[in-house]
Chains A and B, each alone.
Chain A
């Protein structure tokens, strides 16, 4: 009985893995199949002829690299801005006592109660008034508006986990408040900062709706809307190119994740404070 249950459990787990992994696998093989092999019936699982022509076409003949650069700039800038503001904000919400502190923290979350579609138009008008519409910078601002609240709450809980005694000790040891923040708080907060950065980066990298509405020039389009605009029209979908683009869009995230994931599990500052 226990044996059967184990088999069933394994079967279920592997089906889930398969369901998640198959589209990724299909994306990969489609991107290296020549055009004529794509719609063959029955379909080939592994390509009979391998080709990288779609990748070359994308890189050489299209705006792909411009979109890619835009996405890198956009996501990095958003991540930097959000992490910087959220770290200081979380510090303030945890360490300082002032009137309206809790209401402020909850008010920040209120933006999540509204569907983002509702916020797009006011945000667009605001960005036009600021004179930054149709630029990468306008998207940085837009993404910050929805990434910041979550980042603030995430970092707030990490910050609350850092014992206040550590900071008090640093102050007694002669550090200024900023010095204590830099020397003691930041290193302790690193896992939290990395999780937040990862979250923000992924959110900005994959965002579609705001990018579609707020930016309509090729020079500032990010990958999501750029690729869509370039390869999908009402009459035709360039499947091979689309899959090659999708692979190249996923690679940076995989690299970022692989690199930072080791930090996530490392260095959780346990054991410094007893009791």
Chain B
């Protein structure tokens, strides 16, 4: 068990910088997801933690030890790869036993440990098989078994569920959360799937372009995204983002865009009159009555709810979410209002910072977002 600390970690490959001055403090026993689109530096970050890549500058600490120059085998970590990376010529039992063998554990102790791990993961029947004789889900469990058979300080998981079908993925998500609860070990989990990150993590580190955008619990990342990128990345269907302008009216602010004009209340001291962005989650679009006029353009029926896309008079499009019984036909004119209390205001630019006051939600980590 150990905490993991990244201090000003930078990683460059030639002229390309994959990770920019990353600061991250993962506490002992925490389940942290590194979330972001492909190429955001999350896998590089994990590989640096594993010792498979070395940081260009900065320090990585596991427990009370700086591990910058320590090879992977001596870091006391275990890693599960996206490809599973099972050794094809070894049986399941030998695959699971390999980390113990490399650490000089005797044969008798090895087989006891393997049997125990196999039982935990329901692999006992498969121990004599070769990896190619297993299904994807079984291979995944063997890969997990190889990590679990030791008692490492930190578990590293690199998109371990991405090769499974949707149903199995849902099942394994629950299993992993259960496993984390039972073992209480620090786990660092890389994913591009926000559902995995949201459902499994204690905290999510959202990354983009090698820069940490926000590091906060899932609820906070959803309710108070630190900047426009996080707001657009988290949530399905995504938040509607509308470019417009802010103007000050005494102590409060007003947002205006083609077809929309609304009071957004008080903002923090980074707010300035001029270009800004309004973000509204689909559940905060109230269709039926209100000051805004629009036309229903698309209705997506998912069963328990309907996703509607509404065209506004100014040409903007807005995504709304309503319970299933409510539905509209395409082309219908509707009136709607936006829940001003729940609206998000961001500064200009693709990474425009959040301008809302931190009052109605838990304090967002604005400091890390500003990096």
- Interface positions of A (Cβ within 8 A of B): 163, 165-166, 168-176, 179, 183-184, 187-188, 267, 269-275
- Residue B77 is within 8 A (CB to CB) of chain A in the complex: yes
Q: How far is the CB of A264 from chain B (nearest CB, A)?
A: 16
- Once the chains are docked, how many angstroms separate the CA of A273 from the CA of B131? 8
A270/B72 contact (C-beta < 8 A), A173-B99, A179-B102 known: no
Complex-state Cα separation, A184 to B57, whole angstroms: 31
Quick one: which of A183, A184, A271, A274 has the most chain B CB within 10 A? A274
Q: Check B89 against A174 for contact (C-beta < 8 Å).
A: no
Minimum CB distance partner of A272 in chain B? B88
Q: Chain A residues with Cβ under 8 A from B99's Cβ?
A: 173-174
Can you pick out 18 interface pairs between chain A and chain B where the beta carbons lie within 8 Å of each other? A163-B83, A165-B82, A168-B79, A171-B71, A171-B73, A172-B50, A173-B78, A174-B99, A174-B103, A269-B89, A270-B132, A271-B131, A271-B133, A273-B84, A273-B86, A273-B88, A274-B83, A275-B82
Interface size class of B (residues with CB under 8 A): 20 to 34
Asked if B85 is at the interface (CB within 8 A of a chain A CB), the reply is: yes
Is the CB of B45 closer than 8 A to any CB of chain A? no
Given contacts A165-B83, A275-B83, contact A171 B88 (CB under 8 A): no
CB pair B73 A272 closer than 8 Å: no
Closest to B84 in A: A274
12 further A-B contacts with Cβ under 8 Å, apart from A165-B85, A187-B89, are A168-B52, A172-B50, A172-B78, A175-B102, A176-B73, A270-B88, A271-B88, A271-B132, A271-B133, A273-B83, A274-B163, A275-B82
- Shortest beta-carbon distance from A102 to chain B in Å: 15
Residue in B102, B103, B132 whose beta carbon sits within 8 Å of that of A272 in the complex: B132
List, in ascending order, chain A residues with CB within 8 A of B136's CB: 274
In angstroms, Cα B146 to Cα A173, docked, is 8
With A163-B83, A173-B102, A174-B103 as contacts: A267 and B50 at CB distance below 8 Å = no
A271-B88, A275-B83 in contact; A171/B139 too (CB < 8 A)? no
Nearest 3 A-B pairs (CB), nearest first?
A271-B132, A272-B88, A174-B102
In residues 70-103 of chain B, which contact A (Cβ within 8 Å)?
71-74, 77-79, 81-89, 98-99, 102-103
Cα–Cα, bound, A168→B51 (Å): 9
CA distance A271 to B88 in the complex (A): 7
CA distance A272 to B146 in the complex (A): 14
Cα distance, A274 to B132, chains bound together (Å) = 9
